[in-house]
Amino acid sequence: MGAQSGKDLLIKIDMTGGGQFQTAAGLRATRISFNAETIDITSLESQGGWRELMAGAGVRSASISGSGVFKDAQTDERAREAFFAAETPMFQVIIPDFGTVEGAFQITSLEYSGSHDGEATYEMSLASAGVLLFSAI
C-alpha cells in the first residue's frame, strides 16, 4: 500500500439503524486501533523458559477516535443521541486501499471546545461493542 491521503480515512455512523451510513462530518483527524489481550500459559515445562500464549484466547477490541469542526447538524445530532442514550450503533471505518471495518461501537467520550477567535470543535472516542467485520477492497 502506497502513501494515502489522511482525509480518505472515514468514520461513518448508521443514521437510522437500517444501514444508512453517513460520514461523520467535519472530522480533521481520525484514528482506529485494534487490540488483542493475551493469556499467558507459560509453565515450568515451557521450552527454554520462553513465554507461551494461548492461541485464539483473550479479548479483542478496537477503538476509534476523531476530532474536527462542526459541519453537519445530522451526524452531530446522531452522535449526541447515541452518547446520551448509551446506544451502540453500527459504524464503518473506511481505510483507504485496505478495506472497511464495520460493527457496533459505543461513544465513550464526546468533547466540545472553542475559543473566542476560532471555530467550535469536537472530539469523540468510541469502543467496539461486538464482533467486527472486515471487507477488503
pLDDT value for 57: 83
Place of cell 464482533: 131
Grid cell at residue 57: 484466547
Split the chain (137 residues) into runs of 10 and give each run's mean pLDDT.
72 93 87 93 93 91 91 86 95 92 96 89 94 93
Q: Taking the domain 6-136, which CATH number applies?
A: 2.30.110
Q: Which one, of 14, 126, 120, lies nearest residue 70 by Cα?
A: 120
